[in-house]
Amino acid sequence: MTDSEAQGALRENRRLIIALSVLTGALGLVPVPLLGDLGIDLVRVALLRRLARRRKVELSRHAALVLCGVQQVSVGRLAISTALIVAMRYAWRRLTRTLLVLLRFDDMGRTFLLATIFDYYCVRHHRGAEISVERAEVVRRAIAAASSGVRDHVFSALFQRVFGDLVRAGMFLPRTLWTMATSALRDEKAEEVERVVEEDLEGFFGRVTRLVEQELSAAGQDVLSSLCGGFDAAWARETPADDPEAAQTNTGPGASE
């Protein structure tokens, strides 16, 4: 698969990536110390595992946590996180317009960046059925190196422009966002997140996706291409020449047909 084909394949999962990036921006507003960051980490883990499944790649929860750069999260903390978000869903229902302005764009930008590069790795570089914990650490370092050359604020600004357009259009955050939050945090219900996103062709997430695509086509595509090229270079540095996964062309189950 060529570089351009691999970058084109990234569009297949863009709506899912954007939807859960928006979700992390909302979770960043949780007014409980550490809870927002915990929720964001868990959603990112769920997103990476969902992307891996779509690419027919095995990714354990532990390996996904390594990719996100976080330590193991206890089941107890996960239960508390889910319960609080369910309770806050009702308190925030009337604030949806305000939340469009208050969303944490830096959290959204970082989630979009992480998931997009990971998806690119699955398409372009991964070989074999599983990403081991050890391999996940190598991928994490390569993602960090590629991200450092692009800067999170580029993608944060992209989302900020998109949501500025949505605010002017009078759009609200969908009520399904909070259902998605609880489903994403309960990893066994991640399919519910995917169902909502895929059915929302003309709704909120469909609109956000189209606006993001427009921004990427106008100015961000060069940044995205540079990002993928940066990951290619970082991956080559992180993997020795005799490493079977160092090949530039993906022939494993993560490859797109």
pLDDT, tens digit (0-9, with 9 covering 90-100), for 72-85: 665 555 565 666 66
Q: Of 94, 80, 15, whose CA–CA distance to 42 is shortest?
A: 80
The helix or strand, by DSSP H or E, that contains position 130, with its residue range, turns out to be: strand 130-131
Mean pLDDT of the chain: 81
Which helix (DSSP H) or strand (DSSP E) does residue 206 occupy?
helix 204-215
1 class by beta-carbon count within 10 Å (0-12 exposed, 13-18 middle, 19+ buried): middle
Q: Do 24 and 47 touch, CB atoms closer than 8 A?
A: no
- State pLDDT tens for residues 195-239: 888 888 888 899 999 999 888 877 656 778 888 899 999 999 998
Higher pLDDT, 5 or 134: 134
pTM of the full structure? 0.85
Rounded Cα distance, 24 and 85, in Å: 12
Q: Where are the alpha helices (DSSP H) in 30-132?
A: 35-54, 61-68, 75-92, 96-102, 105-124
